[in-house]
Structure 1
Amino acid sequence: MRYELTERRQLILKLVIQEYIESPARPVASETLQRKYNLQYSSATIRNELAALEELGLLTHLHTSAGRIPTDAGYRYFVENLMERQALSPQEQRTIQHQFYQVRGELEQWIHLAAAVLARIAHNAAVVMPPRSLEVRFKHLELIAIYETVILLVLVLHDGTIKQQTLTSEQPYSQDELSQVAQRFNQQLHNAGLAEVERLERTDWEPPLSAFEQTVLELIARAMRQLEGQINERLYHDGLLEMLQQPEFSQPERIRQAIAILEEGKGINPLIPQALSSNGVQVVIGGEHVEDAMREYSVVLARYGRGRDLAGVVGIFGPTRMPYPRSISSVRYISSVMSDLLAELYGQRPDA
Structure 2
Amino acid sequence: MVLNDRRQAILELIVDDYIQTAAPVASQQIARRHSLRVSAATVRNDMAELEEMGYIRRPHSSAGGVPADLGYRFYVEQAVVDDRPPVQLEALAGQALHDLEAGDSDRMAREAAAVLSRAIRNAAVATAPRAYDTRLKQLQLVHLKEGQALLVVVLQEARVLQHLMHFDEAVGQAALTQTANRLNTLFEGASASEMRALWADEPRDAAADAIVQEAIRLLEEESGALSQHLYVDGLRHMLAQPEFADGGRAREAVEALEDRDQVSKALEEDLPEGAVRVIIGGENASERMRRYSVIISRYGRPGRDAGTLAVIGPTRLDYARAIASVRYLSAFMTRLIESLDGPGA
Using the size of structure 1 for normalisation, the TM-score is 0.70
Match of 2:223 in 1: 229
Shift of 1:93: 5.1
Identity, % of aligned positions: 38
Question: What amino acid is the match of 2:226?
Answer: N
Q: CA deviation at 1:233?
A: 1.5
Q: Are 2:59 and 1:66 aligned?
A: no
CA change 1:83–1:136 in 2 (3 A) is: closer
The answer to whether the 8 Å contact 1:135/1:228 transfers is no
Asked whether the equivalents of residues 15 and 72 of structure 2 are also in contact (C-alpha less than 8 Å), the reply is yes
Aligned CA distance change for structure 1 residues 45 and 110 (closer, same or farther; 3 Å) = same
Aligned: 1:243 with 2:238: yes
SS of alignment partner, residue 312 of structure 1: strand
Distance 1:20 1:135, change over 3 A: closer
Which whole-Å CA distance do the structure 1 matches of 2:96 and 2:256 have between them? 28
Asked if structure 2 preserves the Cα contact closer than 8 Å seen for 1:125 and 1:317, the reply is yes
Cα deviation for residue 300 of structure 1 reads 0.7
Q: CA deviation at 1:46?
A: 0.9
Amino acid across the alignment from 1:298: S
Counterpart of 1:88 in structure 2: which amino acid? P
Letter in 2 for 1:289: N
Q: Secondary structure at the match of 1:284?
A: strand
> What SS is found at the alignment partner of 2:261?
coil
Q: Which of 187, 194, 205 is matched with 2:159 structurally?
A: 194
Q: CA deviation at 1:286?
A: 0.8
**Offset of 1:20 from its aligned partner?**
0.3
Quick check: 1:127 aligned with 2:125?
yes
Q: Find the counterpart in structure 2 of residue 219 from structure 1.
A: none
Aligned to 2:11: 13
Structure 1 residues 42-70: Cα deviation after superposition (integer angstroms, max 9, x where no partner): 11111111111111110110112110000
Matched, 1:312 2:307: yes
Residues 1:262 and 2:257 aligned together: yes
Secondary structure of 1:260's counterpart equals: helix
* Partner Cα separation in structure 2 for residue 96 and residue 31 of structure 1: 41
Q: Is the 8 A contact 1:243 1:318 kept in 2?
A: yes
Is contact 2:19–2:317 with CA below 8 Å preserved after alignment? yes
Q: Which amino acid aligns with 1:333?
A: Y
Letter in 2 for 1:43: A
Instruction: State how far apart, in whole Å, the 2-side matches of 1:321 and 1:113 are.
Output: 25
Q: CA deviation at 1:278?
A: 6.6
Residue segments in structure 1 that go unaligned for 5+ positions in a row: 138-188, 203-223
TM-score by length of 2: 0.71
Q: Is the 8 A contact 1:132 1:310 kept in 2?
A: yes
1:34 partner letter: A
Aligned residues: 270
The alpha-carbon deviation at position 294 of structure 1 amounts to: 1.7
Kept after mapping to 2: 8 A contact 1:302/1:332 = yes
What displacement does 1:227 show? 7.5
d(CA) in 2 for partners of 1:127, 1:266: 13
d(CA) in 2 for partners of 1:194, 1:113? 29
Is the alpha carbon distance of 1:115 and 1:7 closer, same or farther for their aligned partners in structure 2, counting shifts above 3 Å? Answer: same
- Secondary structure at the counterpart of residue 317 of structure 1: strand
Spell out, residue by residue over 1:282-339, the C-alpha distance to the aligned partner (whole angstroms, 9 max, x if none): 1111111233322211111100011211100000111111111111110111111000
Q: Aligned pair in 2 of structure 1 residues 88, 229: CA closer, same or farther (>3 Å)?
A: closer
* Residues 128 and 307, structure 2, Cα contact 8 Å, conserved in 1: yes
**Does structure 2 retain, via aligned residues, the 8 Å contact 1:135–1:193?**
no
Cross-structure match for 1:293 = 288
Q: Please give the secondary structure, in 1, of the residue aligned with 2:127.
A: strand
Residues in 2 aligned to 1:327 and 1:261: alpha-carbon distance in whole angstroms: 20
